[in-house]
Amino acid sequence: MSDMPPPDPHSMLFGLSRRWRGTPLWVALVALVLAVLAVLLWMTWQHEQSQVQEATDAAAQTAAADMRQRLGDDMQALQRLMWQTAEGPGWHLQVEALLRTTPEIIRIERRDAHFAVIDAMRSPTYPQQFATIPRSAMSVDAEIACTTARRFSSPAFSRSYFLPSAGGLGVEVVDLCIPQPGEGRSDGTLVATVALPDLLHAAVAPEIVRRHEVMLVESDGTRLARTGARRGAGVFVADRLVDISGFTALLRLDSLSGVPPLIPNLSAALVVMLSAALGGVVVLLVYDVRRRAAAEQALAEALTFRKAMEDSLVTGLRARSADGRITYVNPAFCRMVGFSAEELLGTTVPPYWPPEMVELYARRQAERQAGDTPPREGHETLFMRRGGERFPVLIFEAPLVDARGRRSGWMSTVLDVSAQRRIEELSRQQQDKLQAAARLATMGEMATLLSHELNQPLAAIASYATGSLNLMPAGEQDPPADLETQLMIRQAVARIAEQAERAGRVIRSVHQFVRRRERLRENVRASELLEAVLPLVRLAARRSHTRIAVDVPEPPPRVSCDRTMVEQVLLNLARNGIQAMEDETVAAGDRELRLEVRAQSERWVELRIVDRGPGIPEPIARQLFTPFFTTKPEGMGIGLAMCRTVVEQHGGALDFEAGPDGRGTVFRFTLPAAAPATPPLPSSSSSSPTSPSLPPS
């Protein structure tokens, strides 16, 4: 199974909604722009159309009026003609003139009361009229009109009819009948045949004809006549009724303009372009806003991550400006010192500085800030918790560099090392206890030897004292001792003093050994160290008849050490050597323990303890320095471990190798040589010289 936590639906939803936040708004905006654009275009288009339609309507209105006017004029001209005398050349001349000036009138007839044609004159433009069908065959419509005209004593038009001509052509015409006016005259009539195409041509203004196809249409849709060079587009059509004296027809204007294009003019094109630009800007805006939203989200996530990281840190973080004001602290730091961020921010003398240290810290801070780069290894100092408790901290500082690469302050990592220091102190106490236990163990072992050793000087003292007493006069009656006797007594007393001194030395050395050590280093001659332990070493060596040889160069080198501790190391190593030679495989004559001192270099002095025992086999050698490892039934196994600790505390090294001729073992360790003019140094591992190198085993 995967360790990944299941995605939180709420956060997913939240993330999604944030990602798409504002989208409907943008969609609405784009839709609105598009809708406005479409409506604008549609309205412009509609406007354009209505304008053309209105123009066509107006033209139709004008054309209809013109037509009515023309027909009216024609009727008046014919009526005037009617008033003229019918006979004589004058009438003919007038008819001729009328036919010439009114091209739409193609024939004028005079008829009698029975509608018989008395006289007729034709227009020169239509010479072939009534050639295919005689006028008498096509006179019915004229006669009906004349009947009507006579009845109402006013001009009347006939129905229109087709007047065929030669070659299959023809023309749609209408007859206009003018009744004879007045009393006392014959009921004759004047019939004028009007060619409708010519009527259109003559009546309708040329600028209207240029833009429209002009037609006369019957109410059933039959086209009677048309004029105009081109056909109409059939889109913008206007009809007007022309109804005059029985002539009823629709005047139809069909505009040559077709459907206007979607973008008909410059202003519409401008609107479109502006709208397109607006659309583009909106899209760019949307893109930009989305990008900003994404950047904002990334920033928010980075900030959340940074905050989570800072909050989860167990290390204290603190930032200070160039003038030493605290500008940032993380929660771990606040927890460490027990003050809230609000209490710390902006302070130059922070409340976690112990009052007694404020001056020192302020000076140190000023010095550190004046310097360029703080030390990488950090520094240890003392802070104070809210309750007043002092605690050690380790501070690592680094320059705080702003976006322009300038140093704007300092960033510090602060570690609370109080727990570490407590553990170190505990460990030191443990070490001390271990060493005390080791000393006590050694002492216990030696107690038996000590009693035996003290027996000898005490027995000697007792026998010297007895001898002296015997030599001294017993009472007043005894003669005083002679000079020789006095000398003997003096010698015996001197021996007593010597033996007492020896016993005292033995006791003192044990006392010194067992006494709790003082952790102080002193400059001491290496020979003095050996001399201090020699009585105890000899004591231990006596039982196994081991010889003790000491090899110290002249003048003996001086070492800087914790004397008591080093003596204990020497004693331990010597005791181990002696015990190794107690093995029955070692001949009594071979048992020799050598204590050697050598100046290894100017800075290091080496001490060697050489035995001629059976040596140390490999499996044992591997765990020699492991605490509580021992091969002896009564051993504790802490001697060597403790020896190494002590030597290393001095900055030296403890090691062992096989003896010079392959027999026995050489334990050797180094101690720092005492500097000739330097006073004794306080105990501190950091002040030790570099660890010396031991010659290869």
Least distance from ligand ADP to the Cβ atom of residue 582, Å? 11
Q: Which of residues 44 and 576 has its CB atom nearest to ligand ADP in the complex?
A: 576
Q: Which of residues 209 and 607 has its CB atom nearest to ligand ADP in the complex?
A: 607
Least distance from ligand ADP to the Cβ atom of residue 385, Å? 44
Least distance from ligand ADP to the Cβ atom of residue 435, Å? 13
Q: Which of residues 188 and 577 has its CB atom nearest to ligand ADP in the complex?
A: 577
Q: Which of residues 393 and 616 has its CB atom nearest to ligand ADP in the complex?
A: 616
Q: Which residues contact 542 (CB under 8 A, 6 or more apart)?
A: 449, 453
Least distance from ligand ADP to the Cβ atom of residue 578, Å? 9
Least distance from ligand ADP to the Cβ atom of residue 548, Å? 14
Q: Which of residues 559 and 580 has its CB atom nearest to ligand ADP in the complex?
A: 580
Contact 642, 567 (CB under 8 A): no
Sheet holding 212-217, edge to edge: 223-227, 212-217, 247-255, 237-244
Least distance from ligand ADP to the Cβ atom of residue 510, Å? 19
- Between residue 642 and residue 671, which ones bind ligand ADP under the rule CB under 6 A? 665
- Between residue 543 and residue 572, which ones bind ligand ADP under the rule CB under 6 A? 572
- Can you tell me whether residue 223 is helix, strand or coil? strand
- Between residue 43 and residue 102, which ones bind ligand ADP under the rule CB under 6 A? none
Least distance from ligand ADP to the Cβ atom of residue 445, Å? 9
Q: Which residues contact 345 (CB under 8 A, 6 or more apart)?
A: 326, 327, 328, 329
Q: Which of residues 322 and 441 has its CB atom nearest to ligand ADP in the complex?
A: 441
Q: Which of residues 392 and 614 has its CB atom nearest to ligand ADP in the complex?
A: 614
- Can you tell me whether residue 340 is helix, strand or coil? coil
- Between residue 298 and residue 327, which ones bind ligand ADP under the rule CB under 6 A? none
State the DSSP string of 529-553: HHHHHHHHHHHHHHTTT-EEEEE--
What torsion do the CA atoms of 23, 27, 29, 35 make, to the nearest 10 degrees?
Answer: -170
Q: Which of residues 636 and 646 has its CB atom nearest to ligand ADP in the complex?
A: 636
Least distance from ligand ADP to the Cβ atom of residue 647, Å? 14
Q: Which of residues 245 and 568 has its CB atom nearest to ligand ADP in the complex?
A: 568
Least distance from ligand ADP to the Cβ atom of residue 629, Å? 6
Q: On the CB side of 218, how many CA atoms lie within 13 Å of its CA?
A: 11
Residue 467 found at the interface with ligand ADP (CB under 6 A): no
Contact 591, 679 (CB under 8 A): no
Q: Which residues contact 548 (CB under 8 A, 6 or more apart)?
A: 534, 537, 538, 541, 592, 593, 595
Query: Measured at the alpha carbon of residue 404, what is the angle toward residues 398 and 405, in degrees to the nearest 5?
Result: 35
The one-letter amino acid at 374? P
Residue of 374, 392, 635, 659 interacting with ligand ADP (CB under 6 A)? 635
Q: Which of residues 360 and 436 has its CB atom nearest to ligand ADP in the complex?
A: 436
State the DSSP string of 101-127: H-TTEEEEEEE-TT--EEEEEE-TT-T
Which residue lies nearest ligand ADP, judged by its C-beta? Answer: 639
Stretch that binds ligand ADP, among 398-406, 414-422, 497-505, 637-645 (CB under 6 A): 637-645
Q: Among candidates 545, 543, 540, 633, which has minimal Cα distance to 587?
A: 545
Q: Which of residues 162 and 628 has its CB atom nearest to ligand ADP in the complex?
A: 628
Q: Which of residues 228 and 664 has its CB atom nearest to ligand ADP in the complex?
A: 664
Least distance from ligand ADP to the Cβ atom of residue 615, Å? 7
Least distance from ligand ADP to the Cβ atom of residue 545, Å? 18
Measured between alpha carbons, how far is 128 from 164 in angstroms, rounded to an integer? 9
Residue 15 found at the interface with ligand ADP (CB under 6 A): no
Residue of 156, 524, 640, 654 interacting with ligand ADP (CB under 6 A)? 640
- Can you tell me whether residue 383 is helix, strand or coil? strand
What number of other Cβ atoms are within 10 A of residue 132's Cβ?
14
* Residue 555 preceded by cis peptide, ω within 30: yes
Residue of 191, 251, 569, 636 interacting with ligand ADP (CB under 6 A)? 636
Residue 639 found at the interface with ligand ADP (CB under 6 A): yes
- Between residue 573 and residue 632, which ones bind ligand ADP under the rule CB under 6 A? 576-577, 580, 611, 613, 616, 620, 624, 629-632
Least distance from ligand ADP to the Cβ atom of residue 590, Å? 14
Least distance from ligand ADP to the Cβ atom of residue 549, Å? 16
Residue of 637, 648, 681, 691 interacting with ligand ADP (CB under 6 A)? 637
Number of residues that bind ligand ADP (CB under 6 A): 19
- Beta pairing, strands 547-551 & 592-599: parallel
Q: Which of residues 499 and 579 has its CB atom nearest to ligand ADP in the complex?
A: 579
Q: Among candidates 476, 494, 475, which has minimal Cα distance to 486?
A: 494
Stretch that binds ligand ADP, among 163-171, 418-426, 486-494, 633-641 (CB under 6 A): 633-641
Measured between alpha carbons, how far is 345 from 341 in angstroms, rounded to an integer? 6
Q: Which residues pair with 383 in a beta bridge?
A: 391
- Burial per residue of 252-291, b for 16 or more beta-carbon CB atoms within 10 angstroms, e otherwise: bbbbbbeebeebbeeebeebbeebeeeeeebeeebeeeee
Least distance from ligand ADP to the Cβ atom of residue 627, Å? 8
Least distance from ligand ADP to the Cβ atom of residue 1, Å? 53
By the 10 Å C-beta count (0-12 exposed, 13-18 middle, 19+ buried), 539 is classed as middle
CA 418 remoteness from chain centre: 37
Q: Which of residues 298 and 436 has its CB atom nearest to ligand ADP in the complex?
A: 436
The tokens describing 356, both together, are 């007694």
The tokens describing 544, both together, are 């196994």
The one-letter amino acid at 52? V
Total length of the chain: 697
Least distance from ligand ADP to the Cβ atom of residue 653, Å? 17
Contact 390, 337 (CB under 8 A): no
The radius of gyration of the chain from alpha carbons, rounded to an integer in Å, stands at 71
Q: Which of residues 374 and 635 has its CB atom nearest to ligand ADP in the complex?
A: 635
Measured between alpha carbons, how far is 514 from 445 in angstroms, rounded to an integer? 13
* Residue tagged 């227009």 (tokens): 123
Q: Which of residues 377 and 634 has its CB atom nearest to ligand ADP in the complex?
A: 634
Residues at the site binding ligand ADP, with contacts judged by CB under 6 A: 572, 576-577, 580, 611, 613, 616, 620, 624, 629-632, 635-637, 639-640, 665
